Amino acid sequence: MEGILDAIRSFLDGLTTIQWAPLGLAVFCHLGRVVARTRAWRNVVAAAYPDERVRYRDVFGSYSAGIGANALLPGRGGDLLRLYLIKHRVEGSTYPTLGATLLADTLFDAVVGSILLSIALATGVLPGLDVLPSLPGVDWLWFFRNPTEGLLILAVVAAAAVLLAVVLAAHRVRQFWARVRQGLAILRDPRRYLRTVVPWQALDWTFRAGSIFFFLQAFGLPESVRNIFAVQVTQALSTLLPLTPAGIGTEQALLVFIFAGEASTSDVLSFSVGVKIVIVIVNVALGALATFAMIRRFRWRQAVSEDAAEVK
């Protein structure tokens, strides 16, 4: 917490040096990411429900509401809101199927992220395992420093998840897994997946790089290809297990290591917290607008009745 407060102070001290035009372009690229991301997810959901009307505005609204909540809540709790809203916008949809669409939607990210992480570790962009445990502020390093307790917690969480799944689906296991397979329908049609999902997700990664370039420029840090690549990897790692909102502690620790010798610690902390603050403000504002637009005509009694009927 002390490191985060120091970063906020560094950001406030450097407000007068921020270049606002690049900052605006960075926000524009971030919004472009949201559009590309929601286009990809919409096509995944449409493949799972080919006979239903899947409107892009409903997918965009649900996704935006989710990222708005994720900006404030640790552990990606906003994904639950995202599923809840889209479930009541697609006729006949179920949570197991929609949950599976999230898995299909992240396949490309997992592949690209793994490749980038491997390159970063191999080239020394990221600290190795001999250095990583000594970095302060990395959220998920607690599990490395306390392996016994970490494994115990993971075992309890996994057991609870399995028990909940058994309780909810014991009397209709086949139906449950059929719904899960339905959510992965896009993966059984590789041509459609490559044509309707991959291009949008590739555009998402392109917007990510553009956003980082302009953020680096806005905060006066070197916007080299190496630094853009490094920041992109740290952002992905910071959301791997975000025990703090937006994974800010993890990203700060990694960025200070990466920019050692290129920028002062105060400048790096100002950049880190500044980017987070801007993205959080944008995501929360977008999420609030999307949530309001989607629930203002929401039929709560009907929604609760549908969910109760699905659990039975």
Could you report the per-residue pLDDT of 279-290, keeping only the tens digit for each? Answer: 999 999 999 999
Residue 4: the pLDDT is 52
Residue 43: the pLDDT is 97
Query: What tokens appear for 229 in the block?
Result: 């690549």
Lowest-pLDDT range of 28-32, 188-192, 307-311: 307-311
* Residue of 247 and 167 predicted with greater confidence: 167
Of 134-143, 225-234, 246-255, highest mean pLDDT: 225-234
Q: Is the pLDDT of residue 141 over 60?
A: no
| CB 221, CB 227: distance < 8 Å | yes
Q: Is the pLDDT of residue 50 over 80?
A: yes
Residue 243: the pLDDT is 47
Residue 78: the pLDDT is 85
Residue 257: the pLDDT is 72
Q: Is the pLDDT of residue 66 over 70?
A: yes
Of 14-18, 242-246, 266-270, highest mean pLDDT: 266-270
| Closest by CA position to 63, among listed 48, 43, 41 | 41
Residue 140: the pLDDT is 45
Distance (Å, whole) CA 29 – CA 52: 31
Residue 200: the pLDDT is 97
Length of the chain measured in residues: 312
Q: Is the pLDDT of residue 159 over 50?
A: yes
Residue 237: the pLDDT is 72
153-188 burial code (b ≥16 CB/10 A, e <16) = eeeeeeeeeeeeeeeebeeeeeebeebbebbbbbbe
Residue 163: the pLDDT is 65
Beta-carbon contacts of 287 under 8 Å, excluding residues fewer than 6 positions away, are 64, 65, 66, 67, 68, 69, 71, 78
The rounded radius of gyration (Å) of the Cα atoms in the chain is 21
Please give the mean pLDDT across all residues of the chain: 79
Residue 67: the pLDDT is 93
Handedness of CA 196, 198, 201, 207 (dihedral sign): negative
Beta-carbon contacts of 160 under 8 Å, excluding residues fewer than 6 positions away, are none
- Split at pLDDT 50, 70, 90, the class of 209 is very high
Residue 204: the pLDDT is 96
Distance (Å, whole) CA 76 – CA 83: 12
Question: Beta-carbon neighbour count of residue 40 at 10 Å?
Answer: 26
Q: Could you tell me the pTM of the whole model?
A: 0.78
Of 38-47, 62-71, 226-235, highest mean pLDDT: 38-47
The predicted model gives 91-120 an average pLDDT of 89
DSSP for the chain? -HHHHHHHHHHHHTGGG--HHHHHHHHHHHHHHHHHHHHHHHHHHHHH-TTS---HHHHHHHHHHHHHHHTTSGGGTHHHHHHHHHHTTSTT--HHHHHHHHHHHTHHHHHHHHHHHHHHHHTTSS--TTTGGG-TT-GGGHHHHSHHHHHHHHHHHHHHHHHHHHHHHGGGHHHHHHHHHHHTGGGG-HHHHHHHTHHHHHHHHHHHHHHHHHHHHHTT----HHHHHHHHHHHHHHTTS-SSGGGHHHHHHHHHHHTTTTS-HHHHHHHHHHHHHHHHHHHHHHHHHHHHHHHTT--HHHHHHHHHHHH-
Lowest-pLDDT range of 187-191, 260-264, 272-276, 305-309: 305-309
The predicted model gives 28-51 an average pLDDT of 96
DSSP for 55-87? -HHHHHHHHHHHHHHHTTSGGGTHHHHHHHHHH
Distance (Å, whole) CA 274 – CA 14: 9
| Closest by CA position to 261, among listed 214, 222, 230 | 222
